Amino acid sequence: MSEKLPPKARFWGIREPELRVLRVVTHWFNGKPLEIRDEKRRIATHHDLPLEELFRGTGWNYELHEHAHERLLNNDLLQEEYVCRRKIDWGPTQQGLQAIREVLEPWGDTLRPRWADEDDEGPLFGDPNEGVTHRKGVEIAGELFPGIAWAFDLSRPGAPTYGVEWYPTDRRGEACHDLHVDTRERMTDVGVEVVTDSNNTDRLVAKWKRLQDEDRTTFWVFDRRETACRLWNELDYRGEFYLDGQFRAVENWSAQAINRKLWRSSNTYRGEPAGDIVQTVTGLLEGDRDTIHELFKEYYSTK
């Protein structure tokens, strides 16, 4: 049975096969599950797969949509990119995100993530301009934090009316973190911030400065360790955060070594514990809740 094409589909050169490709992409991007090779998979729990593999979780035949996939790539609505060291062939470009917002609007409720409020408008939810790596980092953190003993989990029976809040905003309606994690007594609440190397350096430095004034520990999730090293090198260069020597050979630093340097530098030059903890999207994906727990355990041991 043919799909009814939305009014703006013609503007974007989208026909029924392209519409289905974008629905599969958005389904996965929004964190909804697909059963592939007898395993339920989601962006938060598994490495991303090529589009042909994602189609295995649908009732559609990829071979009948392969040319549509190629057209979306050629028209710069989708692109090839690397996410957590794996190549994908369906990453939405900024144009692609706009096309998805306009063309898939009738399927907003069907594509709604489990964390989105009923009042949130789809088909894309959360940060309207985020790419696959950014969304993946948020989804992984949103999957792992509720199961940690010191973080409240709204899904547990008898849980309090607070816990993990997705894409919270401040009083001015501006985004303040990608996730806010309420913690138990005697622990500072946690703000999760996902960063990719496409972020504007000036804006990122300004965000770091603003987050330092909040009564929260910032859990930074970077696309790569190199991006984390470059941020703190820039902060050191601008005199915002003094390092005991800048990061050299940035590709050689582990997340653990980065954290220890930041905590040591903060204690030395600011006389106070750092309010930052660093990990990568890949580190979280290939780790588990203990990956987060051990980072916080060591962090609090330095305070």
Contact 139, 157 (CB under 8 A): no
Categorize the per-residue pLDDT at 40 as very low, low, confident or very high, splitting at 50, 70 and 90: very high
Encoding tokens for residue 261?
A: 């340097």
36 vs 41: CA distance, rounded Å: 7
pTM of the model: 0.92
Residue 86 in tokens: 């794996």
What's the average model confidence in pLDDT over 60-81?
98
Q: Dihedral angle at the C-alpha atoms of 130, 79, 221, 44, nearest 10 degrees?
A: 90
Compute the distance between CA of residue 194 and CA of residue 148 in angstroms, rounded to an integer.
Answer: 19
List the one residue out of 292, 291, 281, 286 whose CA is nearest residue 132: 281
Residue 159 has pLDDT above 80, yes or no: no
Give the tokens for residue 221: 């999730």
The predicted structure's pLDDT at residue 51 = 98
CB atoms within 10 A of CB 118: 6
**What average pLDDT does the segment 140-167 reach?**
72
For residue 183, what is the DSSP state? B
The pLDDT of residue 251 is above 70: yes
Distance CA 21, CA 293 (A): 38
Confidence (pLDDT) at 153: 53
Q: Mean pLDDT, to the nearest integer, of 14-26?
A: 97
User: What architecture is domain 7-117?
Assistant: Orthogonal Bundle (1.10)
157 pLDDT more than 50: no
Domain boundaries, the chain: 7-117, 139-301
pLDDT at 289: 92
Confidence category of residue 15, pLDDT binned at 50, 70, 90: very high
